[in-house]
Amino acid sequence: MEARDVILRPVVTESSMAAMDDKKYTFDVDVRANKTQVRYAIEEIFGVNVKNVNIMNVRGKLKRQGRYAGYTKKRRKAIVTLTADSKEIKIFED
């Protein structure tokens, strides 16, 4: 799997933006990706040093439209912690 296939998009929420002060960045990743693949993909794409990777699976939510019910897509989130001497990731380029 290519590095650009592993990392799908950054997660932009209030809590993930607050965690960026501690050099913790949250990304949606491919559901088949493991911690090692996420680490190498982040280091290759952004040119930073990764200290730790935490991964969580997010179940799809039940959604209804009248009598029809279905689920949204399941997701996989990765919280990537950078080393202290690493540069910051510029998600929003000015």
| 36 within domain boundaries | yes
> Which pLDDT tens digit goes with each residue over 55-86?
999 999 999 999 999 999 999 999 999 999 99
| 89 within domain boundaries | no
| 94 within domain boundaries | no
Q: Taking a C-beta distance cutoff of 8 angstroms, is the pair 58, 71 a contact?
A: no
Number of folded domains that form the chain: 1
| 62 within domain boundaries | yes
> Which pLDDT tens digit goes with each residue over 7-55?
999 999 999 999 999 999 999 999 999 999 999 999 999 999 999 999 9
From residue 45, give the alpha-carbon distance in Å to each of 5, 38, 71, 89.
11, 11, 32, 10
Parent domain of 39: 3-82
| 88 within domain boundaries | no
Report the CATH number that the domain containing residue 42 is assigned in CATH. 3.30.70.330
Reduce the DSSP state of residue 45 to 3 states and report it. Answer: helix
Split at pLDDT 50, 70, 90, the class of 1 is confident
